Amino acid sequence: MPKLFAVVLAVVVLAAVPFEAAADPGTKAANTLSNVLFGWTNCPKAVADEVGKGEKNPARGILGVFTGAFMCGANVAATYAAVGIDILTLPWGDNVLPPAALASGKPPLTLKE
């Protein structure tokens, strides 16, 4: 039941966020900076989640220390991979199309022959 609640809550929260906010360069830059600064905080949570699975079985709790470390690495790697992608896709200098280019029917880039 808690998983279903979490999924429903995630859908409601994501549906409430306007799509324009995700495209805003300032918001994207702030999100990227937040991931850089706080991405490591996935580690204690991952270990605690894995150790907590051993509530009824102490051996599973001890194993959770090792699987938690693995999950920590996977979570942090995914977070910092997303940071790399965000940095590459942030609007820098000339890679932003002017509004006139978006409004015209012509493609913004053409190949020269």
Candidates 6, 30, 28, 9; CA nearest to 19 is 28
**Nearest-CA neighbor of 48 among 72, 22, 78, 77?**
72
Report the C-alpha gap between 51 and 70 in whole angstroms: 12
Q: Which residues contact 36 (CB under 8 A, 6 or more apart)?
A: 80, 83
CA separation, residue 17 to residues 12, 31, 77 (Å): 9, 14, 26
pLDDT tens-place values along the chain, 113 residues long: 577 777 776 666 666 555 544 556 777 788 888 888 888 888 888 888 888 888 888 888 888 888 888 988 898 888 888 888 887 777 766 666 666 666 666 666 666 75
